[in-house]
Amino acid sequence: MMHRLSPLLVAASAALALAGCATLPEPPSPTVLYDFGAAAPAQPAAQPASQTSSQAPNQPPSLLLASVSASGLPTDSQVMLYRLAYADDLQLRGYQNARWSQPVQRLFEQQLRQQLERTRVVLDADFSPARLREDGIAPPVLRADVERFEQVFPSDSASGAIVRVRATVVRSSAQGDQVLGQRVFERSANAASADASGGAQAMAQAARQVAADIDAWLAQLK
């Protein structure tokens, strides 16, 4: 014997089904990846070879860029850091759904290399200084260490970026390493919006300014 469901029972069953769907967890928001943006093309540099005597007279000497370190940041982390200065200035936080495409030191190393290659030959960290000597002297080595790279919120509706990098220039010889210069560079930039997107743009801008400052400083070193 077949029984027909009453309209009331059907409606109740449908309501329960809809309620069950409403309690299902929402899918997680996708993680957004940021970098420093498309870089301007660098000027052609002379090939790193033994014929450095053919280098342009006004071109700065060749430079070996060591791998950039980041002693002030979590090790090899791609987390985008921010600080709520108005709430707890001592605590660094990380965005949940925003990341750098690479660790910050790798992104800054790319930016710094692109900046320096506009005016000089820049050698890789694994390049032997003994292969390229000018007047019997190995090229200087630039070491950069990122100490701060974060978005700072002075209030809940405004933010800016702070980038601080320590640069050291060393020349190696048979007698040991000679420090030619050391300086800390810091730049800040206002963010267009108080969120991850605004922070990424501001930090990229400050990083470009720091790279340009290091380039100008190197030109003054003897």
Question: CA dihedral defined by 92, 98, 101, 105, rounded to 10 degrees?
Answer: -10
Phi, psi (degrees; rounded to nearest 5) at 155: -150, 175
- Which among 26-30, 139-143, 171-175 has the top mean pLDDT? 139-143
* Residue 118 pLDDT greater than 60, yes or no: yes
pTM over 0.85: no
Please give the Cα distance from 203 to 199 (Å, whole number). 6
- pLDDT of 42: 45
Confidence class of residue 33 from pLDDT cuts 50, 70 and 90? Answer: very high
- 174-203 confidence digits (pLDDT tens): 777 889 999 999 999 999 999 999 999 999
- 60-108 confidence digits (pLDDT tens): 888 999 999 999 999 999 999 999 999 999 999 999 999 999 999 999 9
* Residue 19 pLDDT greater than 90, yes or no: no
Domain segments of the chain: what residues? 60-219
Please give the Cα distance from 181 to 35 (Å, whole number). 30
Summary count for the chain: helices (H), strands (E): 3, 8
Cβ neighbours for 201, distance < 8 A, ≥ 6 positions apart: 191, 192
- 162-174 confidence digits (pLDDT tens): 999 999 999 987 7
Task: Quickly count: other Cβ atoms within 10 Å of residue 66's Cβ.
Answer: 17
CA 215 to chain centre: 17
Confidence class of residue 126 from pLDDT cuts 50, 70 and 90? Answer: confident
**Residues 187, 213 contacting (CB under 8 angstroms):** yes
Pick the CATH number of 60-219 from 3.40.50.300, 3.40.50.10610, 2.40.100.10, 3.30.300.30: 3.40.50.10610
Please give the Cα distance from 11 to 51 (Å, whole number). 87
